Amino acid sequence: KRVVDFGCGTGSQSIALAKKYNCSVVGIDANRKSLDKAIEQAKPYNIPQSGLSFVDKVSDGMLNSFDIVISQNSFEHFGNPSMILDLMQQLLNDSGKLLVTFGPPWLAPYGSHMQFFCKVPWINVLFSEETVMKVRGRFRSDGATKYEEVESGLNRMTIAKFERIIRSSNLKIEFKSYKCIRGINALSKIPFLSEYFVNHVTVILSR
């Protein structure tokens, strides 16, 4: 198989795929520092370049040529998720599959990704963005004043927003799994409550 690890970060998953399954993997990430770490992390495994490579953008030669595109724990961070999904779709060959899995969504208990300094759930619902960013500033020095400006960014990916993006893509859903907090997955079937209790989203898509 030819596999893209889209949003590969420091490359652990890409390396594991290439080593364990002997597939050809291309890790893609816009963060150059992460890619440099991925390249260093891969060196001890002596995987040939034909089996594992890391790039910071998609080239024309990569389009329509991959069997699998994986996006793990990245979809809530993309600045333009609709455009990125379209780009991932373009990477697939005619029989290719796209796996998108991420969590927590925006309105989940820790969808704000701020639990490193506050264990109170739903702080992005209970408190204003200004308040949350002001307190965050005591722990991070990046100057972010909006959720979109934090490291890796947050695009406020709700369940409704995600489903709307999938519908507009014309991709077919072959598998869908919404996992709720504490294993109470029945809540995922209730429209309003699902936004606040679905903690992890997984879909497999095809053209």
> What is the average pLDDT across 181-193?
95
Q: What confidence tier does 152 reach under pLDDT thresholds 50, 70, 90?
A: confident
**CA 141/CA 111 separation, integer angstroms:** 21
Q: Give residue-wise pLDDT tens across range 66-75.
A: 999 999 999 9
What six digits make up the tokens of 10?
Answer: 């420091």
Q: What confidence tier does 49 reach under pLDDT thresholds 50, 70, 90?
A: confident
> What is the average pLDDT across 74-95?
96
Q: Is the pLDDT of residue 161 over 90?
A: yes
What six digits make up the tokens of 168?
Answer: 């507009």
**The model's pTM:** 0.92
Q: What confidence tier does 170 reach under pLDDT thresholds 50, 70, 90?
A: confident
pLDDT reported for residue 151: 86
pLDDT reported for residue 202: 98
Determine if residue 167 is left, alpha or beta; phi over 0 gives left, psi from -120 to 50 gives alpha, anything else beta: alpha
Mean of per-residue pLDDT scores for the chain: 96
Q: Is the pLDDT of residue 197 over 90?
A: yes
pLDDT reported for residue 153: 93
**CA 153/CA 151 separation, integer angstroms:** 5
